[in-house]
């Protein structure tokens, strides 16, 4: 299991690009993502790319993590959840989005933390 995002004391941020094993990337494989949060408020977005070295935002697409949205939304939640999806992707990253909140600065007490987002394939 590869860690693709840890907490950053920012309101919204994007994790680093994590390459998917070339053997896996060439197939429609099953992926499992695990999101662990503590008192977290915000949205978690998982993105994939068909480019091995994505360099612009248009290289990325959102991966549906629920039936209704392409993100997981939390309101002061402490939990560890898993989601699965099938896909043919060569790179993956995760994002924390709090742009919909009225606050303009990160506050640990109000926004909590991402303990870890991991992916397995």
Say how far apart CA 88 and CA 107 lie, in whole Å: 37
Q: Where are the alpha helices (DSSP H) in the chain?
A: 22-25, 108-111
pTM of the complete model: 0.90
The whole-number pLDDT of residue 87 equals 85
Architecture of domain 2-120: Sandwich (2.60)
The whole-number pLDDT of residue 88 equals 85
The whole-number pLDDT of residue 28 equals 76
Say how far apart CA 90 and CA 81 lie, in whole Å: 24
59: left (phi over 0), alpha (psi -120 to 50) or beta: alpha
The whole-number pLDDT of residue 68 equals 84
The whole-number pLDDT of residue 79 equals 98
Closest CA to 44 of 16, 67, 80, 70: 70
Radius of gyration of the chain (CA): 14
pLDDT digits (tens), the chain, 121 positions? 899 999 999 999 999 999 887 655 566 788 999 999 999 999 999 999 998 889 999 999 999 988 888 999 999 999 999 999 888 888 999 999 999 999 999 999 999 999 999 999 8
CA distances from 121 to 13, 70, 95 (A): 24, 19, 19
């Amino acid at each position: 299991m590869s860690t693709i995002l840890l907490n950053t004391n920012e309101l919204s941020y994007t994790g680093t690009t994590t390459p998917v094993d070339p053997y896996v990337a060439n197939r429609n494989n099953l992926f499992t993502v695990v999101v662990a949060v503590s008192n977290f408020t915000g949205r978690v977005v998982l993105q994939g790319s068909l480019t091995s070295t994505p360099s612009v935002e248009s290289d990325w697409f959102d991966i549906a993590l629920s039936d209704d949205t392409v993100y997981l939304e939390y309101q002061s939640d402490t939990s560890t959840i898993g989601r699965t999806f099938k896909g043919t992707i060569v790179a993956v990253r995760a994002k924390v989005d709090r742009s919909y909140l009225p606050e303009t600065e990160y506050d640990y007490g109000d926004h909590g933390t991402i303990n870890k987002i991991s992916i397995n394939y």
